[in-house]
Amino acid sequence: MTFAKTPPLLLCFAPTDPSGAAGIQADVLTGASLGCHVLSVLTGLSIQDTAGVEDLQTMAPEFIDDQARCLLEDMTVQAFKVGSLYSPEAVSAVAQVVADYPDVPLVVHLGTEVVDGDEAAREAADDTVAAIFELLLPQADVVVVDHRRLEHWFAEELLPKSDAENAVQALLACGPQHAFVTGVPHAGGAPVNVLAGSDPQAEAWSWRRLPGSFHGAGSTLAAALAALLAGGAELRQAVIDAQQFTRRSLEAGFQPGMGRTLPDRMFWTRSAGSDAGEDAGEPDGDDDEA
């Protein structure tokens, strides 16, 4: 019997999202639509719908490590994508795993942490963010983050300022090769998505706002970028194509429940061959994982 050629393998670290809006479910849909087979390592189990998260059970660091090691001992992956993590110990576990595969592209999505308003929970979330800056970002090929979130961390000094003049410089000082910052205000009107790296000249793309409130756009963008890198795309082209994929998914978005609109990631496969053209649409509100 002759087997088909194995597609690119993308390993994603993310929580569940039972609504399919974000989390590991979004990664699987996005990766599959772009030709990847997605391997999953769960970082949390959530109770949620299209309106929001009701509860979350985080995975123990040892369980995260065991999931990843089991898969990596069996298969060779072409890219990693890291989504939401919920403790410094979990960050350390993921960082140790990816450190053993320095030649595999790593995309880190800095999404929203689930914090219930308790001061201790907020402090734990801040500690997790600090651990990501210290342990994961130095290994990242590209980190994807919303402008508002990045500016908040910079203003609150969760992101080490050092001699940086702005939040993007401070983020790059943590060690990632590139930062892809979404929703940056622009004097021309529409916000822009900015790709910055060691080259002092950053590159920006217009990101036209769509009406309505979307959930999962950031997850879609980061997963698409990781999937395209897994498929062998060069970074700049992967960034362009990931934005195009996300825009088309948002334009085909649907509202299955009483909450926010979800991107239709499989729309891409049903309209394969459509040309790139107009600017991408930006979601209104947080575009994040659980």
For the chain, the structural domain boundaries read 9-255+278-282
Mean pLDDT of the chain: 90
pLDDT tens for each residue of 4-51 = 899 999 999 999 999 999 999 999 999 999 999 999 999 999 999 999
- pLDDT over 90 (residue 163): no
What mean pLDDT is predicted for residues 45-71?
A: 95
What mean pLDDT is predicted for residues 226-243?
A: 98
d(CA 84, CA 218): 12
What mean pLDDT is predicted for residues 77-95?
A: 97
pLDDT at residue number 97: 98
- State the maximum Cα–Cα separation within the chain, in Å, rounded to a whole number: 61
pLDDT tens for each residue of 253-282 = 999 999 999 999 998 666 654 443 444 444
pLDDT at residue number 209: 83
Tell me the Ramachandran region of residue 203: left when phi exceeds 0, alpha when psi lies from -120 to 50, beta otherwise.
beta
- pLDDT over 60 (residue 164): yes
Measuring CA to CA, which residue among 203, 275, 278 is closest to residue 239? 203
pLDDT at residue number 153: 94
For 65-138, list the strands marked E by DSSP: 79-82, 106-110
d(CA 93, CA 102): 15
Q: Tell me the CATH number for domain 9-255+278-282.
A: 3.40.1190.20
Using CA atoms, how far residue 138 sits from 98, 134, 151, 176, in Å, is 11, 7, 20, 5
- pLDDT over 80 (residue 126): yes
